[in-house]
Every structure is written in structure tokens, then in C-alpha cells.
Amino acid sequence: MKLVIAIINDSDAPVVMEALLHKGFRVTRVASTGGFFRRGNVTLLIGTEEARVEELLEIFSSSCATPPPGQHKAIIFVVPMEQFIQLG
């Protein structure tokens, strides 16, 4: 399992989340701010199987709008996840 932490522009969040949900990914949205101008960002937390990471990255690539010069579509961290627990 992998934990994908993606920081995207808040205006891209609805389109990206819809695409992720359509493909069966479960996602948690966290509002965040960062960068020099303190622009609104959204941090998405997604747990997925390692085999689906490339599919996930393609969704971000195709769903995020083209950014202004000097900015990025998304900042994405893919980290190993040793354990996944749901308490109920």
C-alpha cells in the first residue's frame, strides 16, 4: 500500500476529486494554505495499492488546469504505508 499526499490548487479540487471517485479511489480532502502568496490549496490524502499509483498520477496530470509560469499543477508525495486501519 501507498499513501499519496497531493497538494493542488483549490480551484482544481472539484474536478480532481470527481475523477478520483469515478475511478474508485477513496480520498480525504484537507483545506490548506502555503507558498509565498498564501494561495488557497487543497491537500488530498489517498491510500492505494502500489499497482494503481501510475493511474492516480495520470488523473492528476489530466485533471489539473495548466498553471501560470513558475507554478505547478500539483505537488505529490508517494510514501509507503505499512498499515491501514479503519476503526468502527
Tell me the pLDDT band of 37, cut-offs 50, 70 and 90: low
The three cell numbers of residue 32 are 490548506
C-alpha closest to that of 3 among 82, 78, 84, 86: 78
pLDDT at 38 exceeding the cut of 70: no
Q: What is the pLDDT of residues 56-78, one digit of tens each?
A: 999 999 999 998 898 889 999 99
Q: What is the pLDDT of residue 33?
A: 76
Are 76 and 6 a contacting pair, CB within 8 Å? yes
Domain 2-80's class? alpha beta
pLDDT at 25 exceeding the cut of 90: yes
Q: What is the pLDDT of residue 54?
A: 98
What is the rounded distance in angstroms from the CA atom of residue 53 to the CA atom of residue 65?
A: 20
Q: Across residues 16-20, what is the average pLDDT?
A: 97
6: alpha, beta or left? (left if phi > 0; alpha if psi -120 to 50): beta
Residue ranges of domains in the chain? 2-80
